[in-house]
Amino acid sequence: MARKMLIDGEVSQPNEEEAHYDFDLFVIGAGSGGVRASRFSANYGAKVGICELPFHPVSSEVIGGVGGTCVIRGCVPKKILVYGATFGGEIEDARNYGWEVNEKVDFNWKKLLHKKTEEIHRLNGIYKRLLSNAGVKLFEGEGKLVGPNEVEVTQLDGTKLSYSAKHILIATGGRAQRPPIPGQEFGITSDEALSLEELPKRVVVLGGGYIAVEFASIWRGMGVAVDLCFRRELPLRGFDDEMRAAVARNLESRGVNLHPRTNLTEVIKTEDGIKAITDHGEELIADAVLFATGRAPNTKRLNLASVGVEIDKVGAIKVDEFSQTNIPSIWAIGDVTNRVNLTPVALMEGTCFAKTVFGGEPTKADYRDIPCAVFSIPPLATVGLTEEEAIEQAEGDILVFSSNFNPMKNTISGRQEKSVMKLVVDAESDRVLGASMCGPDAAEIMQGIGIALKCNATKKQFDSTVGIHPSAAEEFVTMRSESRRVAGAKKPKTNL
């Protein structure tokens, strides 16, 4: 099959006199983005090679696994633990629905851990088969650049293999980071948190992002005493402030101890456990301290400088809107570029790369209206602009429609936990600019709302849609009265 390549921004036909390469494409990193780009490029007829570090649930500079962060030590195992933790509250709620449940219900952490590990091993095998079935050659080992068209792979036995490729794609993702404080070696990251041999009884979590909030919810749902420390007044900076407040209320109502405007200054190992000292002088004793303080691009061992690939101040690879670096033959997608660090975004970028380079269809990734979710218990999901972003960007007035209600299920169970929904609308065009929800099934509902926003749906079209009754989702099509109207000129600043 003839392949069309993107050269200097234009699609060109292959030249018979071009230099011979071992591969049309060699990919470093077999996570979600790398696997997607490899398979789709191979489907266009490209000869593709890919390398990945050996498998292990906990990553390091020399350990990884086909499937990458999401499959092995991220989204998938995390969601499995969320499911497991959710049963704790469900069992409590079941009593008022007629289920006679013993007061003491045992939870077997090791059984769940075993099932989780079985599942990620299964998925690791599936990803390998996907590559094989697409005709992609997989190499197990560490890859690095040795030239603009050459990759060196160090195999498990130390043997070094060198391959040439017309195009090289870097998709090495990112890794969890520890804060630079004394005793940081006594803490753990999300990698280790997903594979602890024993379930801790007391945990301190440092961080206000989605990873911190999710693990706080997971552990609390399993009966663990949790202290969550974060630097701002509310967790989840960057999300809608009203939703952040709802998440904070839910965490507290389920028993998580919140420590806003709090950082850790030192971690000390003692006979009683791990002592975490805050910047307020408070001492928190725990069996584990989780650092959920950010992730960094995996670029240190790629030998980028010797080839001249540009990176930014955090180590992320700089790319253009087609994911091409300053070296024309080298490309990068996913978290290693630090654009929008979500698995479905890496998949989108991998698809766009394959279309651009081998499909004869130059395609830019579209980062508008990307739905996302925080799998706290209950979850938060959003798409489009937050209220704060809409006001900041507004040229005219913004209409806000919101609903705060007790889910039908809670009326019987007695759980005091309200769902919150919001639509942000441009007053002049009536276009829905953003939607947010904190409550059960938020992620499932928001995926459908995301399609509507991608189609530039108006509030009138939402209102004309018949709801599914009884459901929480119908609230998005029955919010008739605006909660407030904010003039575009009024741009409140938040320091939450």
Residues making up the binding site for FAD: 79, 143, 335
Q: What are 193-246's pLDDT values in tens digits?
A: 999 999 999 999 999 999 999 999 999 999 999 999 999 999 999 999 999 999
Residues making up the binding site: 79, 143, 207-214, 294, 335
From first CA to last CA, the distance across the chain in angstroms is 56
| Average pLDDT of span 142-153 | 98
Residue 8 pLDDT greater than 70, yes or no: no
Determine the pLDDT at residue 103.
81
**Burial category of 236 from C-beta neighbours within 10 Å (exposed 0-12, middle 13-18, buried 19 and up):** buried
| Average pLDDT of span 446-455 | 98
Q: What are 377-411's pLDDT values in tens digits?
A: 999 999 999 999 999 998 899 999 999 999 999 99
Domain ranges of the chain: 23-176+296-359, 179-292, 371-486
Residue 117 pLDDT greater than 80, yes or no: yes
Number of H helices, E strands in the chain: 13, 23
Residue 151 pLDDT greater than 60, yes or no: yes
Residue 5 pLDDT greater than 80, yes or no: no
Residue 2 pLDDT greater than 80, yes or no: no
CB of 75 closer than 8 Å to CB of 343: yes
| Average pLDDT of span 132-143 | 98
Domains 23-176+296-359 and 179-292 share a fold: yes
In the structure, what pLDDT confidence band is assigned to residue 18 with cuts at 50, 70 and 90? low
Give the integer Cα–Cα distance in Å for 236 and 239.
6
CB of 401 closer than 8 Å to CB of 407: no
* Buried b or exposed e, range 446-471, using 16+ CB within 10 angstroms: beebbebbeeebbbeebeeeeeeeee
In the structure, what pLDDT confidence band is assigned to residue 158 with cuts at 50, 70 and 90? very high
Determine the pLDDT at residue 291.
98
Determine the pLDDT at residue 452.
98
| Candidate list 20, 167, 259, 469, residue with the active-site label | 469
CB of 200 closer than 8 Å to CB of 188: no
Superfamily for the 23-176+296-359 domain? FAD/NAD(P)-binding domain (3.50.50.60)
Residue 181 pLDDT greater than 60, yes or no: yes
Superfamily for the 371-486 domain? FAD/NAD-linked reductase, C-terminal dimerisation domain (3.30.390.30)
- Percent residues over pLDDT 70 in the chain: 95
Could you count the other beta carbons within 10 Å of the beta carbon of residue 127? Answer: 23
Looking up tokens 């983005």 gives 33
In the structure, what pLDDT confidence band is assigned to residue 320 with cuts at 50, 70 and 90? very high
In the structure, what pLDDT confidence band is assigned to residue 349 with cuts at 50, 70 and 90? very high
Cα-to-chain-centroid distance, residue 43? 27
CB of 140 closer than 8 Å to CB of 124: no
Residues 6+ apart with CB under 8 A from 430: 458, 459, 460
Determine the pLDDT at residue 58.
85
Determine the pLDDT at residue 495.
61
336 three-state secondary structure: helix
Catalytic site includes residue 469: yes
Which residue type does 243 have? M
Mean pLDDT of the chain: 94
| Average pLDDT of span 428-454 | 98
Backbone angles phi, psi at 299, to 5 degrees: -130, -10
| Average pLDDT of span 451-469 | 98
Quick one: three-class SS letters along 194-227? Answer: CCCCCCCCEEEEECCCHHHHHHHHHHHHCCCEEE
Strand duo 137-147 + 48-52: pairing = parallel
Sign of CA dihedral 371, 239, 241, 226: positive
Residue 16 pLDDT greater than 80, yes or no: no
Determine the pLDDT at residue 7.
41
Residue 1 pLDDT greater than 60, yes or no: no
Determine the pLDDT at residue 493.
56
What interhelical angle do 241-253 and 210-221 show, nearest 10?
20
Give the integer Cα–Cα distance in Å for 167 and 19.
12
Q: Which of 195, 140, 178, 174 is closest to 70 using CA atoms?
A: 174
Strand duo 174-176 + 295-297: pairing = antiparallel
Determine the pLDDT at residue 382.
98
Residues making up the binding site for NAD(+): 207-214, 294
**Lowest-confidence segment of 57-61, 254-258, 260-264 by average pLDDT:** 57-61
Determine the pLDDT at residue 11.
43
Give the integer Cα–Cα distance in Å for 413 and 15.
70
Sign of CA dihedral 343, 55, 302, 15: negative
Determine the pLDDT at residue 120.
96
Looking up tokens 């130059």 gives 362
Give the integer Cα–Cα distance in Å for 221 and 413.
17
Residue 490 pLDDT greater than 60, yes or no: no
CA angle 375, 381, 383 (to 5 degrees): 145
pTM of the model: 0.93
Determine the pLDDT at residue 488.
73
DSSP 471: -
Give the integer Cα–Cα distance in Å for 431 and 488.
15
Give the integer Cα–Cα distance in Å for 388 and 52.
41
Determine the pLDDT at residue 318.
98
Determine the pLDDT at residue 309.
98
Give the integer Cα–Cα distance in Å for 303 and 425.
47
Give the integer Cα–Cα distance in Å for 243 and 480.
20
Alpha helices in 317-441 (DSSP H): 343-358, 387-393, 408-413
- Name the architecture of domain 179-292: 3-Layer(bba) Sandwich (3.50)
Determine the pLDDT at residue 60.
82
CB of 18 closer than 8 Å to CB of 161: no
CA angle 256, 260, 266 (to 5 degrees): 90
Half-sphere exposure of 258 (CA within 13 A, CB side): 21
In the structure, what pLDDT confidence band is assigned to residue 57 with cuts at 50, 70 and 90? confident
Q: What are 277-287's pLDDT values in tens digits?
A: 999 999 999 99
397 three-state secondary structure: coil
